[in-house]
Homo-oligomer: A and B are copies of this chain.
Amino acid sequence: MVCVVAYRAGVIGASGYTGAELLRILHGHPEIEVVHVTANTNASSSVAEVYPSLGVAYPDLAYEAFAATDLAGLDLVFCGLPHGESQIVIPAIIATVGHVIDLGADFRLPAPAYEEWYGTAHRAPALLEQFALGLPELYRDEITAHDHVAAPGCYPTAAVLAMAPLLASGLVEPTGIVVDAISGVSGAGRGLSLRTHFGEIDESVEAYGLLSHRHTAEMELVLSKVSGTSVQVLFTPHLAPMTRGLLATAYARPNTAGLTTASLLETYRAFYADEPFVAVVDEAPATKATRGSNAAHVTVRFDERTGTVVALGAIDNLVKGASGQAIQAANLLLGLPETVGLTVVGIYP
């Protein structure tokens, strides 16, 4: 049997966790082959040395220093660079490759919002309009109408999937929304820091980025689009002692009478009826049920006592919150079935 893979891909910044996760998932993708990986800090190391988990699958692949010419002509390029670096690198390649899927924050926000939340002017504002936000459930048309995608952050993915049916239906007020979320440590990447040192975060929970986490801007952007009005969110991220997993618990006030948990669940089931990766579940979802998969599990409650809607969403932050969703969007860009190469089955336990 001769196996012909249709598309040739490169991964920039492939030695971080999202890069490794792209390599893991794409190894099982029948239509995309990874042919070039860059990692400036690990240049000249083999993938097997840096990630023994990938060694059997990629015995001959080695990281190379980034060079735009090496990527020219590829069908698609995933970019897993830290925030701020994509906007420097992508202008050098965007004209010479078929599709760019950026996993960083650089091409998600309009230039003014970017400057407001990141405290610095965007370096490539003219390119922003070439990127659709890579959240297929809510931006499917935009993705297929663009060549390039900026995959959203992990927190926005979970929070927005949990709340979108509420705002799309106009069932809650667009202000006073609180998103309280808990993430595994891998969201902070493979870079060394005291916060991600085992002795510090093991057996501990803490909040961070109080009032000012930049994913707030993405949540507001997407929910405003969904609702057709300006949405305001207060977001508190927490870190928990687990590697993967992200749970968002969101609170909103109804702007209509007569809500019930049953009616809200029905709204959710209708909203996500055709979505292969979103499961509306009856019970409060555990992040572990989504581990290693591209699934999002969401549920919703109406609390009559306090008049509050509570919505919950669970994902694997490295899959649906990053690399899996990027591949889901890439499938759309390539005209492939959206589910190719992706699983909905969590690795449990």
- Choose, from A121-129, A136-144, A149-157, A193-201, the stretch at the interface: A193-201
Distance A57 CA – B291 CA, assembled complex (angstroms): 14
CB distance from A261 to the nearest CB of B (A): 8
> In the complex, what residues of B have CB within 8 A of residue A297's CB?
52
* Count of this chain's copies in the oligomeric assembly: 4
User: Shortest distance in angstroms between A108's beta carbon and chain B's nearest beta carbon?
Assistant: 19
In the complex, how many angstroms separate the beta carbon of A258 from the nearest chain B beta carbon? 17
* Chain A contacts with B in 221-263, Cβ cutoff 8 A: 232-234, 236, 238, 240-245, 247, 249, 251
User: A188 CB to closest chain B CB, in angstroms?
Assistant: 8
Contacts of A234 in B (CB 8 A): 251, 303, 305-306, 308, 310
In the bound assembly, the distance between CA atoms of A211 and B288 in angstroms comes to 22
A293 within 8 A of B: yes
Is A345 in contact with chain B by the CB < 8 A criterion? yes
Query: A44: CB under 8 A from chain B?
Result: no
Are B285's CB and A52's CB within 8 A?
Answer: yes
Contact of A343 among B28, B198, B205, B314 (CB under 8 A): B28
Q: A208: which of B53, B279, B284, B305 is its contact (CB, 8 Å)?
A: B284
Contact between B347 and A286, CB atoms less than 8 A apart: no
Contacts of A345 in B (CB 8 A): 23-24, 27-28, 53-54, 56-57
Q: Given A289-B53, A343-B28, does the pair A243, B203 have CB atoms closer than 8 Å?
A: yes
Answer yes or no: A268 CB below 8 A from chain B CBs.
Answer: no
Q: Collect the chain B residues with CB atoms within 8 Å of residue A318's CB.
A: 349
Is the Cβ of A198 less than 8 Å from the Cβ of B284?
Answer: no
Q: Which 8 A-B pairs have the closest CB atoms?
A: A53-B346, A204-B288, A199-B349, A53-B348, A206-B286, A56-B344, A52-B289, A180-B180
Once the chains bind, are A349 and B206 in contact (CB under 8 Å)?
Answer: no
* A348 nearest in chain B by CB position: B53
Flag A286-315 by CB within 8 Å of B: 1 or 0 each. 111111110101000101011010101010
Q: Which residue of B56, B186, B289, B314 is within 8 Å of A279 (Cβ)?
A: B56
A123-B204 Cα distance, complex, nearest whole Å: 39
Q: Which of B198, B206, B240 is within 8 Å of A197, CB to CB? A: B198
Q: Which residues of B contact A28 (CB under 8 A)?
A: 343, 345
Is A202 close to B, CB under 8 A?
A: yes
Contacts of A279 on B, CB cut-off 8 Å? 52, 55-56
A178 on interface, CB distance cutoff 8 Å: yes
CA distance A176 to B192 in the complex (A): 40
* A281 contacts partner chain B, Cβ-Cβ < 8 Å: yes
Point out the residue from B208, B281, B343 that lies within 8 Å of A27, measured CB to CB: B343
Q: In whole angstroms, what is the CA distance A194 to B51 when docked?
A: 12
A159 part of interface (Cβ distance < 8 Å): no
A286 and B204 contact, Cβ closer than 8 Å, known pairs A17-B349, A56-B295, A198-B196? yes
Chain B nearest Cβ from A213, distance in angstroms? 12
The smallest beta-carbon distance between A292 and chain B, in angstroms, is 5
